[in-house]
Amino acid sequence: MKSIASAPAKIILFGEHFVVHGTPAILAAIDKRVTVSSTFTENGTVKINSELGTLEVSISSLYKYKEVKSEFRPFVYLTNKMIDSNQNVKGLEITINSDIPIGVGLGSSSACCVATTASISGLFKELSSEEILKMSIEAEKTIFPDTSGADCTVCTYGGMIEYPSVEKIDNTFDLNLLIVNSMIPHNTKNSVEKVNKFKENDEERFSQLCDLETKLIDEVITAMKNNDATTFGLKMSENQKYLEEIQVSNDTLRDMISSLNEISLGSKITGAGDGGCVIALVKDENMDKVPALLPKDKECFSAKIDTKGVVWKIEK
Which residues are annotated as catalytic?
151
Which DSSP state fits 305? B
Which DSSP state fits 101? P
First-to-final CA distance of the chain: 4
Task: For residue 262, count CB atoms less than 10 angstroms from its CB and return exposed for 0-12, middle for 13-18, buried for 19 or more.
Answer: exposed
**Is residue 16 within 8 Å of 25, Cβ to Cβ?**
yes
Q: Of 167, 158, 182, which is closest to residue 267 (Cα–Cα)?
A: 182
Task: For residue 220, count CB atoms less than 10 angstroms from its CB and return exposed for 0-12, middle for 13-18, buried for 19 or more.
Answer: buried
Overall residue count recorded for the chain in this entry: 316
Please list the alpha-helical segments (H only) found in the chain. Answer: 73-84, 108-124, 129-140, 150-157, 188-201, 203-225, 229-245, 251-260, 290-293
Cα-flanking dihedrals φ and ψ of residue 119, to 5°? -70, -50
